């Protein structure tokens, strides 16, 4: 019997390689955090495409059995702590877990480790939600709202957050200096989305944040990032 057999989600998305880590995701800014991380650390995995659009697959009973919050990404590691399978959701938690499991992309020094995790939390609690709301009001249904105050609110907050990141990157190649970490991985997809999918480059005066722009260019040049951005592939 496979270690995955106790997880109902595998009935909807069967594992072809049950010995590998199973990723249930979509290539959204949150989803690509985990696929980029997996590509960077070289851990074998199997990706499953979860349609969060019309099919609403993240709210099916099978998906909710792994993540009751109904959001991608989520994973099952058949080789979790103490050799037992582990199901995990929340992209930031998954990044930290994979970093600690493999000893990669998280500083060993305790102070630097917590500083890195601090920036992941900053992305999870601030940059991600604010950038996402900006996208809704600028690109999606919210742009039809007659009242433009919500857009203006998220525009201002997104610019403020870009300013925080820009200041942090002054004199640094990566958020933690010379060391590329899970802090960078947590943010690359979101910042890329601002000027790509959300088409908000001019709205945010993005090019004025020169440190952020250069950091994004460095990040997107990484082969593992380029591969991870394309995962999972739609069947």
**Is residue 147 predicted with pLDDT exceeding 60?**
yes
Superfamily covering domain 9-104: Glutaredoxin (3.40.30.10)
Give mean pLDDT, residues 55-74. 98
Q: What are phi and psi of 127, to 5 degrees?
A: -60, -45
Instruction: Give 110-222's CATH code, choosing from 1.20.1050.10, 3.10.20.30, 3.40.350.10, 3.30.70.920.
Output: 1.20.1050.10
Residue 140: the pLDDT is: 86
- Residue range 208-231: mean pLDDT, rounded: 98
Closest by CA position to 95, among listed 169, 30, 168, 20:
30
Residue closest to 185 by CA, chosen among 111, 108, 110, 92: 92
Model confidence at 141: pLDDT above 90? no
pLDDT at 1 over 60: no
Token look-up 């690359």 returns 188
Give the pairing of strands 45-49 and 86-89.
unpaired
Cα gap 35→27, rounded to integer Å: 8
Q: What is the mean pLDDT of residues 156-181?
A: 98
pLDDT of residue 142: 85
Q: What is the mean pLDDT of residues 132-161?
A: 92
Residue ranges, CATH 3.40.30.10, the chain: 9-104
pLDDT number for residue 145:
87
Longest dimension (CA), the chain: 57
The CATH 1.20.1050.10 portion of the chain extends over: 110-222
Q: Is the pLDDT of residue 115 over 60?
A: yes
Band (pLDDT 50/70/90 cuts) for residue 176 is very high
If pLDDT is split at 50, 70 and 90, which confidence band does 228 have? very high
Residue 146 scores a pLDDT above 90? no
φ, ψ dihedrals at 121, nearest 5° = -65, -40
């Amino acid at each position: 019997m496979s270690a995955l057999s106790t997880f109902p989600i595998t009935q909807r998305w069967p594992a072809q390689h049950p010995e590998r880590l199973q990723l249930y995701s979509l290539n959204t800014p949150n989803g690509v955090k985990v696929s980029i991380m997996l590509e960077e650390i070289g851990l074998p995995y199997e990706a499953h495409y979860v349609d969060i659009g019309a099919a609403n697959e993240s709210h099916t009973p099978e998906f909710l059995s792994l993540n009751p919050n109904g959001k991608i990404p989520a994973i099952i590691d058949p080789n979790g702590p103490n050799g037992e399978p582990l199901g995990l959701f929340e992209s930031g938690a998954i990044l930290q877990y994979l970093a600690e499991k493999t000893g990669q992309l998280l500083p060993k020094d305790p102070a630097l480790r917590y500083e890195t995790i601090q920036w992941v939390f900053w992305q999870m609690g601030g940059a991600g939600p604010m950038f996402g709301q900006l996208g809704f009001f600028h690109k999606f249904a919210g742009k039809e709202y007659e009242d433009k105050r919500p857009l203006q609110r998220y525009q201002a907050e997104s610019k403020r957050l870009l300013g925080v990141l820009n200041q942090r990157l002054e004199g640094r190649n990566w958020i933690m200096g010379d060391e590329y970490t899970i802090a960078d991985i947590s943010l690359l997809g979101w910042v890329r989305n601002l000027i790509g999918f959300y088409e908000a480059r001019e709205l945010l005066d993005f090019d004025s944040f020169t440190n952020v722009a250069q950091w994004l260019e460095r990040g997107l040049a990484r082969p593992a990032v380029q591969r991870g951005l394309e995962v999972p592939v739609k069947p």
